[in-house]
Amino acid sequence: MTRTKKTYTFLVFAFLYAPIVVFIFYSFNQSKSRSNFTGFSLRWYIELMQNDRIISALQNTLVVAVLSALAATLLGTAASLGITALKKAPRALIMNITYLPILNPEIVTGISLMLLFVAAGTFLGISLGFWSVLIAHITFNIPYVILNVMPKIRQTDKNIIDAAMDLGCSAPQAFFKVMLPEITPGIASGALMAFTLSFDNFVISYFTLGSDGFTTLPVNIYTSTRRGLSLEYNALFAILFVTVLIFLILMGIADNKAASKNPNSAKQIRLRN
């Protein structure tokens, strides 16, 4: 890399990381202030551990993220298989509708689901809560799974499936033994994307929450900013930052190992990313 390139990359990263450095730095502040550093302390980390509200919001967020990613992955993968088999016209129609939640602003998706849930809830005599947030997240996640899985299905050679079946595989066998391994990378990256998007989603949760005390972390952060956001949140995300960093590094090491074993897969990994 040339020098200008290096400087440029560095500047962009400095821009991306400046606020993160700031909030992690202040997580070690002794006082409540988020702009005046009075001394180093682990106070906010200790208070975080004792704050049931934040911990339970974190658990809620993870529950919604895991469940919605799982459900979206199942529904989305099955849908991708089926959609690929459809004729062109219905396929195009379904795909265009599938893009809607991606192209639509989140606020529109959020309020449209809220309107539906309120109507359905009034009809069934239930109020919004965990269920409505979960359904909203699944709905929002499925398109990303489909968009990750579909290209993989299309890349798969139809002939190997036929070959497997000619050799005596039943259709499910052919799917699990031949198709699935081919599209697994797409499923995995779709699931990961769904999890990530759900974990940080604020707008859709904000509009589909009810009164049963079920809140997610982003919503909690938003409502807490009214009183000046507690530095416990900074501590929480500092921990999360380190966790994700370690996770990504481990994945990188594993990738490198795989790459050195099989030089071809390096390129595949790059493309997948």
CA gap 228, 220 in Å, rounded: 12
Among 42, 78, 160, 180, binds another protein (CB under 8 A): 78
Q: Contacts with another protein in 222-261 (CB under 8 A)?
A: 222-229, 233-234, 237, 240-241, 244-245, 247-252, 254-259
In angstroms, what is the C-alpha Rg of the chain?
23
Q: Which residues of 23-56 are buried (b: 16+ CB within 10 A; e: fewer)?
A: bbebbbbeeeebeeeeeeeebbbeebeebeebee
Q: Considering the rule CB under 8 A, would residue 107 count as an interface residue with another protein?
A: yes
Interacting residues with another protein between 121 and 150 (CB under 8 A): 121-122, 127-128, 135-136, 138-139, 142-144, 146-148
Closest CB to another protein among residues 42, 162? 162
What sign results for the dihedral spanned by CA atoms 163, 167, 173, 176? negative
Residue 216 within binding range of another protein, rule CB under 8 A: no
Interface pick for another protein out of 75, 131, 169, 239 (rule CB under 8 A): 75
- Site residues (CB under 8 A) for another protein, limited to 195-214: 196, 199-200, 202-203, 207, 209-214
- Residue 137: partners with Cβ closer than 8 Å, 6 or more residues away: 64, 65, 68, 72, 198, 201, 204, 205
Residue 39 binding another protein, by CB under 8 A: no
Q: How many residues bind another protein (CB under 8 A)?
A: 129
Beta strands in the chain (DSSP E): none
CB of 22 to another protein, least distance (A): 5
Nearest to 97 by CA among 152, 153, 146, 154: 146
Does the protein bind another protein through residue 48 (CB under 8 A)? no
Minimum Å distance from CB 81 to another protein?
Answer: 5
Q: 3-class SS at 135?
A: helix
